[in-house]
Amino acid sequence: MLLEEVYNNAQIVYSGRHLTTVNEFTDQLPALRPELLIEVAYRIIKTMDLTIDKIVTEEDKGAPLATAISIFTGIPLAMARWYPYSLDDITTHKVNLQSEYFEGSLYLNGICHGDRVAIIDDTLSTGGTAISLVESIRHFGGEVTGIFCAVEKVQQNGRNHVLEKTGITVNSTLKISIDKNKVTIVKE
């Protein structure tokens, strides 16, 4: 599997608060191979309920994966942005975000009351991004049917944090643990 290969070869850096990886999948270092993106997208699609109205992600690292899943499934994509649009006919919801890398705000639009929504992200670490997206979707009156992440950093306990704050269990396709010397793939 290509994703496991990528994490076995990932570089490790300190993000200011946590150890993290720099790799082809999340950082496009080296450039992201289409076959890797396709592999990961299909791994997630196989676990999703496809009777949903929208896919939601944030516009940073989750965007390539969510875009691929949207294309393969034909499900529309709504993207949470780091900045608002100042358009009178667009309803945007601002939500505060505290994640592994960033503290600030996300602005979500494109969700309607009653929408059934799946959240897609590249990595689950602290759970901050997922929690913020759930809050925003619920603000619009949408229902989050699932949260799907390609990779889960188990030592940061994001899975439990998301469950405690939202009542939703995160689905991940690969679990890893990071120490200063290496990335370990965690077998279930």
- Show me where the domains of the chain are located: 41-175
Helices (H), 30-94: 34-45, 63-73
| Confidence band, pLDDT 50/70/90 cuts, at residue 141 | very high
| Confidence band, pLDDT 50/70/90 cuts, at residue 102 | low
Q: Stretch 2-16: mean pLDDT, rounded?
A: 93
SS3 92: coil
> Closest by alpha carbon to 106, among 97, 119, 115?
97
User: CA–CA separation, 113 vs 130, rounded Å?
Assistant: 19
What is the predicted pLDDT for the residue at 88? 65
- Say yes or no to pLDDT of 97 above 80: no
For 84, the token pair is 């608002």
Burial class (CB within 10 angstroms; exposed 0-12, middle 13-18, buried 19+) of 73: middle
What is the predicted pLDDT for the residue at 74? 99
| Confidence band, pLDDT 50/70/90 cuts, at residue 113 | very high
Comparison of pLDDT for 91 and 167, the residue scoring more:
167
What is the predicted pLDDT for the residue at 135? 94
What is the predicted pLDDT for the residue at 93? 80
pLDDT digits (tens, 9 = 90+) for 29-85: 999 999 999 999 999 999 999 999 999 999 888 999 999 999 999 999 999 988 887
- Say yes or no to pLDDT of 130 above 80: yes
- Say yes or no to pLDDT of 126 above 80: yes
What is the predicted pLDDT for the residue at 149? 98
| Confidence band, pLDDT 50/70/90 cuts, at residue 24 | very high
pLDDT digits (tens, 9 = 90+) for 154-186: 999 999 999 999 999 999 999 999 999 999 999
Beta strands in the chain (DSSP E): 11-14, 19-22, 54-58, 77-80, 93-98, 103-108, 116-124, 143-153, 170-178, 183-186
Identify the CATH assignment for 41-175 out of 3.40.50.2020, 3.30.300.30, 3.90.226.10, 3.40.50.261.
3.40.50.2020
